[in-house]
């Protein structure tokens, strides 16, 4: 039985089937070249992309995409052999809703209309969790500790900083529980690349005092003190000597245009992370191909949302293509 511990017959079979339905580059090319939003929607309807009982129209496609997000999370929750996988993917939305609850307390105003429904906690649960730290209603010490740190802040300006850091701390902690070294490495890279993106924001703003330190996540591969050795207001090019910077420099294609990099770096980072997951397409069993599929399915939904919004706004195919992440194919 020990040899079967990393084989999940039902989940791995479902993922194999679902993976074959992901959009490929040729599919994106067809969608890019459609002449209007409705023609693009017709292409998606023919594929039953939204998996809904009604066709997508220019009036309802955003709602159908929201439904597709929810059904994808429902599938994840129903088939994954470890609930942690669902909680890891839900974490981003949990932290988003925690930000809302902190801001509700700070501004004495309800923000239900800004809540996202893909988290593992409902908004009422998060509100209840804000009453007493000792109750630990979130049933997660890391989240509870970070949540109350945000709740006790003196300035609303710091709320996003504290909870963005909490997201990465909790993500790293949850992933470690799965005991899959490849996932640990992926998350650390994701955090390092967040900090790289933050460097570009900091440089673009003229290295304002304290900004990088406030937003920086300590959960990557190098501590803040090492980053600061290379981040100097009087010599910003010194950052290029940072070993971690050199490791990832190929991502932004050696571009010297900082404005272009700042606008596109998050796309390039996503492309890099997608490329890192492609090895999982060669794996038949285990949690890695399951996690890789859902990571890329959510990227695909993001792509379709960008594409359709671009069509709705009258952008050209080339303008839309610049914002689209690469497909999950080999």
Judged by average pLDDT, the poorest of 185-199, 237-251, 291-305 is 237-251
pLDDT at 274: 98
Q: Which residues of 34-47 are buried (b: 16+ CB within 10 A; e: fewer)?
A: beebbebbeebbee
Structure tokens at 203: 């440089």
What letter would DSSP give residue 132? Answer: -
pLDDT tens for each residue of 36-93: 999 999 999 999 999 988 999 999 999 999 999 999 999 999 999 999 999 999 999 9
Alpha helices (H) in the chain, listed in sequence order: 9-19, 25-32, 37-46, 61-79, 83-107, 123-129, 141-151, 159-178, 181-204, 211-215, 224-228, 243-248, 258-277, 287-312, 317-321
Identify the burial level of 72 via C-beta atoms within 10 angstroms of its C-beta, where 0-12 means exposed, 13-18 middle and 19 or more buried. Answer: buried
pLDDT at 256: 63
Q: What is the DSSP secondary-structure string of 48-96?
A: TTT--SS---TTTHHHHHHHHHHHHHHHHHHH-SSHHHHHHHHHHHHHH
Examine the pLDDT at 1 and tell me if it is beyond 60: no
Region 133-158 average pLDDT: 96
Nearest to 140 by CA among 74, 93, 75, 88: 88
pLDDT tens for each residue of 190-208: 999 999 999 999 988 888 9
Examine the pLDDT at 2 and tell me if it is beyond 60: no
pLDDT at 122: 96
Residue 184 CA to residue 187 CA, distance in Å, equals 5
Region 148-176 average pLDDT: 96
Judged by average pLDDT, the poorest of 98-102, 229-233, 241-245 is 229-233
Examine the pLDDT at 25 and tell me if it is beyond 50: yes
Task: Indicate whether this model's pTM tops 0.85.
Answer: yes
Mean pLDDT for the chain overall: 93
Residue 104 CA to residue 130 CA, distance in Å, equals 11
Residue 29 CA to residue 49 CA, distance in Å, equals 16
Long-range contacts of 304-312 (CB under 8 A, 24+ apart): 304/23, 304/44, 304/49, 304/65, 305/62, 305/65, 307/28, 307/31, 307/32, 307/40, 308/37, 308/40, 308/41, 308/61, 308/62, 308/65, 311/34, 311/36, 311/37, 311/40, 312/37, 312/58
Residue 222 CA to residue 105 CA, distance in Å, equals 34
For 70, 78, 118, the CA distances from 74, given in Å and listed in that order, are: 6, 6, 9
pLDDT at 207: 87
Phi, psi of 154 (to 5 degrees): -85, -25
Examine the pLDDT at 327 and tell me if it is beyond 70: yes
Phi, psi of 220 (to 5 degrees): -85, -160
Region 280-290 average pLDDT: 93
Residue 330 CA to residue 328 CA, distance in Å, equals 7
Return the residue matching tokens 């999940």. 8
Residue 203 CA to residue 211 CA, distance in Å, equals 11
Compute the residue count for the chain: 330
Residue 142 CA to residue 146 CA, distance in Å, equals 6
């Amino acid at each position: 039985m020990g040899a079967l511990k990393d084989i999940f017959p039902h989940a791995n079979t479902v993922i194999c089937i679902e993976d074959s339905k992901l959009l490929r580059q040729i599919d994106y090319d067809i969608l890019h070249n459609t002449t209007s939003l409705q023609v693009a929607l017709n292409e998606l309807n023919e594929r039953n992309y939204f998996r809904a009982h009604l066709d997508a129209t220019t009036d309802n496609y955003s709602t159908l995409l929201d439904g597709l997000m929810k059904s994808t999370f429902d599938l994840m929750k129903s088939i994954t052999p470890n609930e942690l996988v669902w909680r890891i993917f839900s974490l981003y939305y949990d932290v988003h809703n925690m930000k809302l609850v902190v801001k509700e307390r700070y501004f004495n105003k309800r923000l239900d209309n800004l809540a996202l429904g893909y988290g593992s906690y409902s908004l009422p649960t998060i509100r209840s969790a804000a009453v007493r730290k000792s109750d630990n209603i979130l049933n997660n010490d890391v989240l509870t500790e970070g949540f109350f740190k945000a709740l006790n802040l003196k300035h609303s300006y710091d709320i996003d900083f504290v909870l963005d850091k909490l997201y990465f701390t909790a993500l790293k902690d949850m992933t470690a529980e799965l005991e899959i070294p490849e996932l640990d490495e992926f998350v650390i890279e994701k955090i390092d690349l967040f900090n790289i993106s933050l460097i570009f924001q900091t440089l673009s703003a003229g290295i304002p005092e304290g900004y990088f330190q406030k937003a920086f996540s300590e959960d990557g591969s190098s501590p803040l003190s090492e980053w600061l050795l290379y981040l100097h207001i009087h010599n910003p090019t010194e950052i290029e000597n940072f070993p971690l910077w050199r490791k990832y420099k190929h991502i932004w294609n050696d571009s010297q245009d900082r404005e272009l990099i700042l606008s596109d770096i998050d796309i390039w980072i996503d492309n890099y992370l997608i490329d890192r997951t492609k090895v999982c397409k060669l794996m038949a069993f285990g949690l890695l191909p399951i996690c890789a599929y859902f990571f890329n399915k959510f990227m695909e939904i993001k792509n379709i949302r960008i594409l359709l919004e671009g069509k709705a706004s009258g952008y050209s195919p080339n303008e839309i293509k610049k914002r689209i992440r690469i497909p999950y194919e080999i």
